[in-house]
């Protein structure tokens, strides 16, 4: 997604109210952008908190400011600046975190962001975008750059959206099925593991999928609510801890709406349960987010 | 009104607000009210101001009221339920208060961003920031300082209210003199040191800084006295926290009346 993101921003570079600030990252990705933007491309150095404060100051003067770093560095190091300087003042500062979830794999836990959405999505005025595919990355970026709201964009390794999914205006790609007996909800590029498990699954025709790309989830989209009422069975898959992620949001909304549920399973990032490290795929496997485990969990519903 | 009378009047207002609210942070406001007069009473078109030491909010509110940015009716609600004037400035309430501060170390990055934006847009005006000396403990203050130097933000003028006291001790004893001239000059700031209770001295230093377009961000170290004007509060850490009794309030007001020729 990173190069696609960079290419998208290059197209925006001519808009005079856009400023791009990087926290000293972008080697072999942002060089073109830097030369196109001139004095509106700023390397703020290895000083993420100041990067956000400066961005808020510039946004208060009418600019839309993109702040780019590795996801955990921008989210955790700068949290108070994000909350106090950006969110309290409802400023158009767009945090772009590369490598959300276990995206940085073998780089280790310092480089992972598996609590980012829970950390940010409850802040006032904050909009989190967690695209799963190149296509919904475009729609998320369009919305973000026109909304002028505090935003967080979680960049992962996205693939193209398969033809089996249909994009929806409420921020989702779906495979709806009126005969479904299981509602599957997922978020972010881990959707690709689900799709791999699902495309030839024996129970595929008894499921329907919702790939949701925005947080916080303040209400259940109508199609999701209808699906849950029909199937009464929910499986949620996310590369984020269970606290503050989409499963906890769905669970709250299901209860607030008194929807009767027979079964609810949350597959989510488990952290580092065996204290061992590896690729993104390895951590997904340890957390049960891999294709094989997802396939097995789907079987338990039938 | 002459400046001495204004200094006295705003001190009286600060005392009134704190007495009615039975609230602390009196010493912090009395320490920096004269700096704020120098910046805000003599504001020019395009100037912006951030009070980074948000705990001196009564000083900010009283000078904002003086220059017509906060109405009297709002002033009467200070510290009460459903107010727009809490003990630290709130977000999105008054145009002249662009940022809700109160957590230290936020003001310099914000003011630096404003100065940088002005440079990009070629806008006139100065970005002013008022910090406490305690705030120079914060890493973000130094991150922003280095950024301002590299970006040649000579439209940034920072005041440090250097009263030598912070939350729980003398600044020099805690992390050393992080608000010293040589440390800030060493990173590339142009630094002046003035009496932080002399309006004329501060106006002179400020004008010199604003006029000097030499590519360096500016720092004015304003040497101040915490609790300035009330003898029993001066240089006492406890007046960061304490509210006044009625007798103390009356005593304080009469001292201000005498000393500032009200």
The yes-or-no verdict on residue A2 having pLDDT over 80 is no
Which residues in chain B are closer than 8 Å to A13, comparing Cβ atoms? Answer: none
The yes-or-no verdict on residue A4 having pLDDT over 90 is no
Structure tokens at A265: 């399973």
Which residues in chain A are closer than 8 Å to B108, comparing Cβ atoms? Answer: 53
Q: pLDDT averaged over chain A?
A: 96
Residue B26 pLDDT level (bands cut at 50, 70, 90): very high
- Report which of A264, A275, A265, A271 is spatially closest to residue A287, judged by C-alpha positions: A271
**A70 HSE (CA, 13 A, CB side):** 20
Tell me the pTM.
0.96
Contact pairs from chain A to chain B, CB under 8 Å: 98
Contact flag B109-A85 (C-beta cutoff 8 Å): yes
Apex B38 CA angle, B37 and B42, nearest 5: 95
The CATH number of B3-259 is: 3.40.50.970
Q: What is the pLDDT of residue A29?
A: 86
- Report which of B83, B94, B104 is spatially closest to residue B60, judged by C-alpha positions: B94
- Report which of A74, A102, A66, A79 is spatially closest to residue A188, judged by C-alpha positions: A102
Which SS3 state, helix, strand or coil, does residue B71 take? coil
Which residues in chain B are closer than 8 Å to A88, comparing Cβ atoms? Answer: 91-92, 100
Q: CA-CA distance, B22 to B225, in Å (whole number)?
A: 22
Q: CA-CA distance, A256 to A219, in Å (whole number)?
A: 10
Of chain B, the percentage scoring pLDDT greater than 70 comes to 100
- Report which of A233, A289, A302 is spatially closest to residue A265, judged by C-alpha positions: A233
Residue A3 pLDDT level (bands cut at 50, 70, 90): confident
Which residues in chain A are closer than 8 Å to B125, comparing Cβ atoms? Answer: none
Q: Which of A40, A56, A80 sits opposite B113 (nearest CB)?
A: A56
Mean pLDDT of B14-37: 97
Which residues in chain B are closer than 8 Å to A84, comparing Cβ atoms? Answer: 100-101, 103, 106
For chain A, list the domains and their CATH numbers. 2-155 (3.40.50.970), 166-299 (3.40.50.920)
Beta-carbon count within 10 A of A244 CB: 19
Does an H or E element contain A173, and which? Answer: strand A172-175
Residue to mutate among B91, B110, B148, with most A CBs inside 10 A, is B110
Contact flag B147-A47 (C-beta cutoff 8 Å): yes
Mean pLDDT of B80-105: 97
Which residues in chain B are closer than 8 Å to A58, comparing Cβ atoms? Answer: 113-114, 116-117, 120
Residue to mutate among B103, B109, B147, B152, with most A CBs inside 10 A, is B109
Residues of B with CB under 8 A from a CB of A: 91-92, 98-101, 103, 106, 108-118, 120-121, 123, 127, 139-140, 143-144, 146-147, 151
Contact flag B112-A50 (C-beta cutoff 8 Å): yes
Q: Tell me the three-class secondary structure of B120-157, residue by residue.
A: HHCCCCCEEEEEECHHHHCHHHHHHHHHHHHCCCCCEE
**Which residue from B minimizes the CA distance to A56?**
B110
Residue A1 pLDDT level (bands cut at 50, 70, 90): confident
Mean pLDDT of A73-101: 97
């Amino acid at each position: 997604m990173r190069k696609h993101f960079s290419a998208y921003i290059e197209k925006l570079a001519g808009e005079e109210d856009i400023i791009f600030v990087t926290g000293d990252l972008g080697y072999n990705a942002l060089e073109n952008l830097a030369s196109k933007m001139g004095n509106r491309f700023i390397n703020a150095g290895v000083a993420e908190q100041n990067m956000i404060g400066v961005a808020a100051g510039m946004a208060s003067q009418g600019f839309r400011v993109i702040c780019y770093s590795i996801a955990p560095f921008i989210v955790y190091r700068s949290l108070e600046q994000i909350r106090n300087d950006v969110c309290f003042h409802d400023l158009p500062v767009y945090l772009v975190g590369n490598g959300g979830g276990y995206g940085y794999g073998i780089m280790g836990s310092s480089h992972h962001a598996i609590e980012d959405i829970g950390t940010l999505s409850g802040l006032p005025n904050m909009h989190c975008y967690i695209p799963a595919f190149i296509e919904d990355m475009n729609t998320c970026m369009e919305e973000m750059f026109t909304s002028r709201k505090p935003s967080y964009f979680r960049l992962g390794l996205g693939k193209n959206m398969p033809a089996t999914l249909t994009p929806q205006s409420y921020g989702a790609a779906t495979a709806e099925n009126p005969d479904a007996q299981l509602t599957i909800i997922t978020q972010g590029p881990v959707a690709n593991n689900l799709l791999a498990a699902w495309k030839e699954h024996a129970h595929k025709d008894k499921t329907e999928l919702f790939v949701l790309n925005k947080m916080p989830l303040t209400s259940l989209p109508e199609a999701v609510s209808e699906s849950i009422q029909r199937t009464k069975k929910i499986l949620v898959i996310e590369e984020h801890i269970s606290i503050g992620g989409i499963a906890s949001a769905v669970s709250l909304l299901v209860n607030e709406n008194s929807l009767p549920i027979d079964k609810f399973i949350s597959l989510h990032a488990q952290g580092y349960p065996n204290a061992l490290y590896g690729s993104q795929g390895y951590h997904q496997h340890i957390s049960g987010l891999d294709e094989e485990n997802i396939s097995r969990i789907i079987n338990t519903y039938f | 009104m002459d400046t001495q009378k204004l200094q006295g009047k705003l001190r009286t207002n600060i005392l009134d607000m704190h007495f009615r609210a039975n609230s602390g942070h009196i010493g912090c406001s009395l320490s920096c009210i004269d700096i704020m007069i120098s910046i805000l009473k003599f504001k020019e078109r395009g100037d912006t101001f951030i009070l980074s030491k948000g705990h001196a909010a009564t000083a900010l509110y009283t000078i904002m009221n003086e220059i017509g940015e906060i109405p009297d009716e709002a002033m009467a609600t200070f510290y009460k339920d459903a107010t727009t004037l809490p003990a630290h400035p709130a977000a999105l309430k008054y145009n002249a208060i662009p940022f809700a501060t109160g957590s230290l170390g936020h003001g310099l990055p914000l003011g630096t961003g404003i100065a940088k934006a002005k440079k990009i847009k070629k806008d006139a005006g100065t970005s002013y920031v008022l910090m406490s000396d305690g705030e120079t403990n914060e890493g973000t203050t130094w991150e922003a300082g280095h950024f301002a130097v590299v970006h040649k933000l000579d439209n940034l003028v920072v005041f440090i209210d250097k009263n030598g006291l912070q939350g729980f001790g003398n600044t020099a004893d805690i992390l050393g003199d992080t608000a010293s001239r040589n440390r800030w000059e060493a990173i590339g700031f142009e630094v002046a040191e003035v009496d932080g209770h002399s309006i004329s001295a501060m106006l002179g230093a400020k004008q010199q800084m604003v006029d000097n377009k030499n590519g360096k961000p500016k720092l004015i170290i304003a040497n101040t006295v915490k609790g300035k004007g009330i003898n029993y509060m001066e240089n006492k850490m406890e007046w960061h926290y304490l509210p006044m009794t009625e007798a103390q309030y009356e005593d304080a007001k009469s001292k201000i009346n005498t000393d500032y020729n009200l």
